[in-house]
Amino acid sequence: MAVKNVYKQSESSASCSAIYRQFGTWLKCSCCPVSVRIAIWVTGFIIALHIFVFNHLPLSGSQLIRQQNMRIRSKRVSMPHHPDTIVATFGEDSWKARAKVVEAYQEKVLKEHAAKNNNDIIIRNCPYPSLAKLSEEQKMPRAANERHMVAPPQGGKISLVCCDTTKGTFTIIAHDKWAPKGAARFLEMVTSGYFNTGVPMMRCIKNFLCQFGLNASKEKLKDFDETIEDDPNWLPEGPTHRENALGIKRFAQGYLAYAGAGKHSRNKQLIVALTPNGPLAGGSPWEVPWGELVGEESYRTLSQIYTGYGEDGPKQGMLHNRGMTEDMKLEFPELDYINYCELLDEHDYGDI
């Protein structure tokens, strides 16, 4: 009975000295035989020694982990959202690293949101933040020269668009006066985010043109299927005007127009001239230019677009019905894409 009481006392974390005093009291019991008193004394000493060793010797690694986990579970019960519990669970260093990642992401989102609100550039490597950064010739070509066979239409609204591609950036000036319906459709595609899901440059023929406009995303396939009316052609038509006496060809390198299949057939398929071209816009009303590339960076990008597939790139029918499937991506691994486009600036030319 005495031994049971002593063990119960040890479980309640009594000090070794207190246990020893208790055993001393029992050892003075005159009614107990000497052998019993000695056994009681030895048992008490062993229990006291066990408590001392348990409380003072260093714990092993696994014991420390178990002890820490017990403390964590205890805190979760009493304070389930206490920060110390989270820090203890992940470790202080890992928690700080996680916090930095979250903070960096939040800062990026806030900056992009602020850029949107302030009409700042969010496209990587776009060289021109506004129309004011362009030269007068880039904003409004005024005369026939080594690039333009005839002076393009003057004045009107001009829009600055920057497109990111797999080979670099394109800077595009869309001219309302050149082709109002064609320019308006292109700008509608840009501002709707149509290009931001990826548009394969599906038909790129060396020294001729590159055709694009069918979206890689299956969800975007029906967008801009409706056709628009043709714009009047401001370039001289007919086979006698493919090239002038100075060797300037009718459809300049970097001119942008629509691919079509007859009158009033324009919708979302576009072409850009990879080199100066004589036959284009020679009588096909859908090929009237509505804008052009500007800046050295744009023409450097244009020269790097992959043309190895030529007429044997992705089939238009399959693209129109399915988008750019994984099988098609594997079949045409060198194909280039427009990743996204952004309208950066827009003014009437007389207000710049």
Chain segment 28-60, per-residue pLDDT in tens: 555 567 776 777 778 877 877 766 666 655 655
Confidence of residue 10 (pLDDT cuts 50, 70, 90): very low
The pLDDT of residue 126 is above 80 = yes
Kindly state whether residue 63 falls inside one of the protein's structural domains. no
Can you give the pLDDT at residue 150?
A: 96
Residues of the chain above pLDDT 70, percent:
68
The pLDDT of residue 13 is above 50 = no
34 or 171: which leads in pLDDT? 171
Name which of 79-88, 139-148, 277-286 the model is least confident about: 79-88
Tally the domains of the chain.
Answer: 2
The pLDDT of residue 7 is above 90 = no
The pLDDT of residue 80 is above 90 = no
The pLDDT of residue 325 is above 90 = yes
Kindly state whether residue 169 falls inside one of the protein's structural domains. yes
By residue range, what is the domain housing residue 323? 155-351
Query: Domain holding 269: CATH number?
Result: 2.40.100.10
Confidence of residue 306 (pLDDT cuts 50, 70, 90): very high
Q: Is residue 196 located within the same domain as residue 333?
A: yes
Q: Whole-prediction pTM value?
A: 0.66
Which residue, 10, 41, 56, sits at the end of a domain?
Answer: 56
The pLDDT of residue 242 is above 70 = yes
Name which of 91-95, 235-239, 254-258, 260-264 the model is least confident about: 91-95
Can you give the pLDDT at residue 228?
A: 97
Q: Is residue 270 located within the same domain as residue 162?
A: yes
126 in Cβ contact with 163 (< 8 Å): no
Q: Is residue 52 located within the same domain as residue 161?
A: no
Kindly state whether residue 44 falls inside one of the protein's structural domains. yes
Q: Is residue 45 located within the same domain as residue 160?
A: no
Partner residues linked to 163 by β-bridges? 170, 341
Kindly state whether residue 300 falls inside one of the protein's structural domains. yes
Kindly state whether residue 10 falls inside one of the protein's structural domains. yes
The pLDDT of residue 347 is above 90 = yes
Confidence of residue 14 (pLDDT cuts 50, 70, 90): very low
Can you give the pLDDT at residue 62?
A: 60
The pLDDT of residue 110 is above 70 = no
Q: Is residue 162 located within the same domain as residue 305?
A: yes
Q: Is residue 46 located within the same domain as residue 159?
A: no
89 or 313: which leads in pLDDT? 313
Q: Is residue 170 located within the same domain as residue 307?
A: yes
Kindly state whether residue 102 falls inside one of the protein's structural domains. no
Can you give the pLDDT at residue 330?
A: 94
Can you give the pLDDT at residue 179?
A: 98
Mean of per-residue pLDDT scores for the chain:
82
Q: Is residue 225 located within the same domain as residue 347?
A: yes
Q: Is residue 39 located within the same domain as residue 181?
A: no
Which residue, 31, 56, 81, sits at the end of a domain?
Answer: 56
Q: Is residue 27 located within the same domain as residue 163?
A: no
Q: Is residue 203 located within the same domain as residue 329?
A: yes
Kindly state whether residue 132 falls inside one of the protein's structural domains. no
Q: Is residue 220 located within the same domain as residue 338?
A: yes
Which residue, 41, 56, 71, sits at the end of a domain?
Answer: 56
Can you give the pLDDT at residue 307?
A: 98
The pLDDT of residue 297 is above 80 = yes
Kindly state whether residue 263 falls inside one of the protein's structural domains. yes
